[in-house]
Chain A
Amino acid sequence: MAVHKRGYRGYAGQLTPLWSRCWIVTRYAFKNVFQWKLLTSFFYACFIFPLTCAAGIYVNHSTRLLVMFGVRSLFDVDAGFFFQFLRVQGSLAFILTALVGPGLVSPDLANNALPLYFCRPLSRAAHVAGKMMILVSLLSLITWVPAILLFLIQSSLAGWSWMWANLWLPAGVFLGSAIQILVFSVLALALSAWIKRKLAAGAALLAVFFFGAGFAEAVDAVLGTHKGALLNISRLILTVQAQLFRQPWRSPISAGSAWMALLAVSGICLWLLARKVRAYEVVRG
């Protein structure tokens, strides 16, 4: 028999590599995100449209089913198709951001947990990257990942020649989604960092988009220009995507300025994040 005393003892085992630490933040945030049933259901619901499109593509290449429906083809799988697909999934992505985003940084700030993160070998960039990964992965899963899968399905059914002709499409899909995901993510994180309450942060995100549009129109009307559209983020994203998919799109601003404006917005949000996400709060006085 032996009596075991439980005192304090140190840790002498292996340590995980430094670069992998930011994934820990992501993992725990994922656990927290999927605790909310509404969000989980909505996330799954975002796959309904891609699945429908996949079914449609299959029907397009099945003579038997086409005869049954009495049409020559349901729809054309071309640049226009992908453009519209990204528009639909893009709006869903926006709603997903509004649901997930606010709860990412604000719980850490609400009760001052940041010093505990940063007294560990975790840099501020790794922390923010870890949080962004959640949004980036979730949004990717409902935007460019299903789009590319649809492209592959179409290629496998339509043949090599079709794929060669349209090889620029996946690149456009990826870039178009990437800029959208980037802007949504940093905007949501920045608002979550500056606005302590989750509901208010979510509302602020909606406001930035919808009131931004209204504000842009107002600026146009007052200043008599068309440059107000630079403030309308959803417009900017559409302009960029339209150019990538070579779609006709009337826009008062060029695609180049749209890219610049979006990158500027992302830069500002990252700067705002850097100001808030730190181990201590600096108070003047």
Chain B
Amino acid sequence: MVPVIELEGLGVRFWQRNILQDLRCTLSGRAIGLLGPNGAGKSTLINTLLGFYPVAAGTARVFGYDIRTQTMQIRSLTGYMPETDCFIAHMTAVSFVRMMAELSGLPSSAALERAHEALFYVGLGEARYRKLGTYSLGMKQLAKLAQAIAHGPKLIILDEPTNGLDPPARQRMIRLIHEMRDSRELQILLCSHLLRDVEETCDEVLILKDGRQVHYANLEEERRTNKRFLELETVGDDGGFAEAVENLGCACAVTSGKRMKIVLPESFVMRDLYRLAEARNVQIRRMNYRRDSLEDIFLKAMENSNGRS
């Protein structure tokens, strides 16, 4: 797959401070997650890829274009949804998205069509003819998303897209992002603090801390491996279930209340577990193979970097 973003020793300095140092990575997934604690440099990286900050060392490429010399080409191919509020209060949503699409190179009539399509796609119905200054927070976020996709970019950069949204609006935003990812027409760079969202959306993750790269994880691969643990939640267990499981040859740890974690031996067969459950009249309400979740990966990466620095 053609790499979306290639970081080749990228470094950025501001007032004598190294904000980003020596980032080296090749990212080519359909959806890429960018994680890190506050101040790690995620926004700086995004701003540098868009050409807002000058590069102090190394370089980076987006779709093969060098960010130092081919900024305009990169900007033609990307759409950006910033974290902060971004709008022009006196314009209607349609005018706003249309102007942004025209600035990205679309001819005026095509821009109008695509503005309407984008606004329809994100779910802004009649409200599109109202001024942006009258919009609620959720609607402003949707308008921001619409302007990011109206010109049909190949890569969209979403910075905390669900910030401040209430649960139904959050669900809608996540669903839209998944749909766009699955349409295979573009690729996504998602920057968020909510690990669950990143886990559900992205197949690759880059973790930054203090301007350095501390971990790169390919979630697709992680999901395919690692079936050696089992997590269970039971109802109706009078206490002996864990012991009985251990008699099967598994090491068993009860985590909290009704939840337990089981280490599986080579010879394990699921049927045996269910036979036990039937015999003891225990309901297995929840059961899944455990693999490192993104939260574990993230916490491990933070610990490792603490150890190193």
Please state if B52 and A279 are interface contacts (CB–CB under 8 Å).
yes
Question: A9-B183, A9-B185, A11-B152 given as contacts; is B105 within 8 A of A121 (CB)?
Answer: yes
Contact count band on B: 35 or more
Q: Which interface class (under 10, 10 to 19, 20 to 34, 35 or more) fits A? A: 35 or more
With beta carbons under 8 angstroms apart, the residue of A7, A12, A112 that contacts B152 is: A12
A10 touches B186 (CB 8 A): yes
CB atoms of A116 and B86 under 8 A apart = yes
Given known pairs A16-B105, A113-B88, A121-B75, the reply for A6 and B120 (CB within 8 Å) is yes
- For B185, list chain A residues within 8 Å (CB): 8-10
Secondary structure at the A interface, as helix, strand, loop or mixed, is loop
With both chains docked as a complex, state the minimum distance between the C-beta of A36 and any C-beta of chain B, in angstroms.
10
A residues less than 8 Å from B47 (CB atoms): 279-280
Question: A120 and B75 in contact (CB under 8 A), knowing A9-B183, A24-B99?
Answer: yes
The proximity string for B residues 92-105 relative to A, scoring 1 for CB distances below 8 Å and 0 otherwise, is 00010001101111
Sample 17 A-B pairs with CB under 8 A, ordered by A number. A7-B179, A8-B183, A8-B186, A10-B152, A11-B114, A12-B152, A25-B103, A112-B85, A117-B103, A119-B52, A120-B76, A121-B72, A121-B75, A121-B76, A121-B105, A122-B75, A280-B47
> Which residues does chain B contribute within 8 Å of A15, judged by CB atoms?
76, 105-106
User: For B186, what are the chain A residues with a Cβ–Cβ distance below 8 Å?
Assistant: 8, 10
B154 in contact (CB, < 8 A): yes
Residues on B close to A: CB < 8 A? 14-15, 47, 50, 52-53, 72-73, 75-76, 78-80, 82, 84-91, 95, 99-100, 102-107, 110, 114, 117, 120-121, 147, 149, 151-154, 179-180, 183, 185-186
Q: Chain A residues near B76 (CB, 8 Å)? A: 15, 120-121
Which residue of chain A lies nearest to B151 when distances are taken between CB atoms in the complex?
A11
Please pick, from B15, B85, B88, B120, the residue contacting A108 in the complex, using a CB distance under 8 A.
Answer: B88
| B135 to A: closest C-beta gap in Å | 11
Contacts of B152 in A (CB 8 A): 9-12
Bound Cα distance A113, B107 (Å): 22
The residues of A that contact B114 with a CB separation of less than 8 Å are 11
Rounded to whole Å, the gap between the CB of A25 and the closest CB of chain B is 8
Q: Which residues of B contact A108 (CB under 8 A)?
A: 88
| A105 CB to nearest B CB, Å | 11
